[in-house]
Amino acid sequence: MIPSVVMFDIDKTLARSKSDIEPAMSEALARLLIATKVGIISGGKLQQFMKQVVGKLPPGIPLFNLYLLPTSGGALYEYRNAWSPVYQELLEADEVEKIRTAMEDVIETCSVIDRSHASYGDRIESRGPQVTLSALGQQAPVAEKEAWDPVGTKREILRAALASRLPEFDVKRGGATSIDVTKRGVNKAFGVRKLSEHLSIPVASMLYVGDALAPGGNDEVVKETGIPTRSVLDPDETLLVIEGLLNNA
């Protein structure tokens, strides 16, 4: 029996980092949206979700079955003739400034980010419910991002340094080169619970699919909700998971 809601991470789960979903994934998601509800949760902002996923879906699919949770669950959007927020856990202006100052200090003192090389776009970006530090810049090429910190050592140095400076916030690894900061308690587990509550569907009847469910990964936190999970290595494995779900629908 297919889960009542299937949730997905984006980067390295539905698509390569900051890349659009491939046609095969678009077709698979379209079929899944006919069969059940789908939630997508990632550290990116809403515009990134629209570009990477929603804008690549075929016309005429039931978008009312699709739920978007950008900024690591800091917001939830549903489609009712237009995309509208169910909630947004926005950071205050003084909170954003405090986080930004801490990030600038960490960049300067941790010797992890090489400032002698120009970044690909901004290294620090405020995304409403979240502030993100991207070591190489927001528009860094995928190959460079994937090569920068393959085992997570550099990101953990940055995360730990930021967490010590910002104890009142949630500080967690994001994508291949990023650290995300949100209000305390706002993370992917928060997003799972909020979607469950909004849809009146028990977490046990849902499924989470992600590439970083192992200890230290940015999907690991969802396990505390009790949601069933499926770990994947890349979008190709995600396609196999979707096909298996559809075969059991």
pLDDT at res. 16: 85
Give the torsion through C-alpha atoms of 219, 145, 128, 39, to 10 deg. Answer: -40
Enter the pTM of the model. Answer: 0.91
pLDDT at res. 217: 86
Topology (CATH) of 93-183 = 3.30.1240
Do the first three CATH levels of 5-89+186-247 and 93-183 match, i.e. the same topology?
no
pLDDT at res. 48: 92
Residue-range domain boundaries for the chain: 5-89+186-247, 93-183
pLDDT at res. 50: 96
CATH number for the domain whose boundaries are 5-89+186-247? 3.40.50.1000
| 3-state SS class at 101 | helix
| Per-residue H/E/C for 109-173 | HCCCCCCCCCCCCCCEEECCCEEEEECCCCCCCHHHHHHHCCCCHHHHHHHHHHHHHCCCEEEEE
CA gap 68, 124 in Å, rounded: 23
Mean pLDDT in each 10-residue stretch from start to end of the chain (249 residues)?
Answer: 96 89 97 97 94 95 96 96 95 97 96 89 94 94 91 94 97 91 95 98 98 90 97 97 92
Residues sharing a CB contact under 8 Å with residue 154, sequence separation 6 or more, in sequence order = 112, 135, 148
CA gap 69, 188 in Å, rounded: 9
